[in-house]
Amino acid sequence: MKILFLGDIMGRSGREAVAKHLPALKTRHQPDFTLANAENAAAGYGLTQKIASELLGLGIDVLTNGNHVWDQKEFLSTIGGDKRCIRPCNFPKDTPGAGHILLKNDKGKRLLVINAMCRLFMDALDDPFATVEALVAEHPLGKAADGIFLDIHGEASSEKQGMANYLDGRVTAVIGTHTHVPTADTRVLPKGTAYQTDTGMCGDYDSVIGMKKDQAVFRFLRKYSFERLAPAEGEGTVCGAVVESDDATGLAKNMTAVCVGGVLGAR
What confidence tens digit (pLDDT) does each residue in 209-264 have? 999 999 999 989 988 777 888 999 999 999 999 999 999 999 999 999 999 999 99
What are the pLDDT digits (tens) for 149-196? 999 999 999 999 999 999 999 999 999 999 999 999 999 999 999 999
Q: Around 186, how many Cα atoms within 13 Å sit in the side-chain half-sphere?
A: 20
Say whether pLDDT at 99 is over 90.
yes
Q: Around 182, how many Cα atoms within 13 Å sit in the side-chain half-sphere?
A: 22
Residues 6 or more apart whose CB falls under 8 angstroms from that of 238 comprise: 6, 17, 18, 21, 22, 25, 202, 258, 259, 260, 261, 262, 265
Residue 44, Ramachandran bin (φ over 0: left; ψ between -120 and 50: alpha; else beta): left
What are the pLDDT digits (tens) for 48-98? 999 999 999 999 999 999 999 999 998 988 888 889 999 999 999 899 999
Helix, strand, coil percent content, the chain, rounded in steps of 5: 25, 25, 45
Find how far residue 63's CA is from the centre of its chain.
8
Q: Around 224, how many Cα atoms within 13 Å sit in the side-chain half-sphere?
A: 1
- Say which CATH class 2-205+234-265 falls into: alpha beta
Collapse the DSSP code of 267 into the 3-class scheme (helix H, G, I; strand E, B; otherwise coil) and give the result. coil
Does this model's pTM top 0.85? My answer is yes
Domain segments of the chain as ranges: 2-205+234-265
Residues 6 or more apart whose CB falls under 8 angstroms from that of 64 comprise: 35, 36, 37, 38, 39, 86, 87, 113, 115, 151, 153, 177
Say whether pLDDT at 129 is over 70.
yes
Collapse the DSSP code of 136 into the 3-class scheme (helix H, G, I; strand E, B; otherwise coil) and give the result. helix
What are the pLDDT digits (tens) for 37-61? 999 999 999 999 999 999 999 999 9
Give the residue numbers annotated as catalytic, written as ranges.
68
pLDDT category at 100 given cuts 50, 70, 90 is: very high
Identify the pLDDT of residue 233. Answer: 94
Angle at the Cα of 265 from the Cα atoms of 261 and 267, rounded to 5 degrees: 140
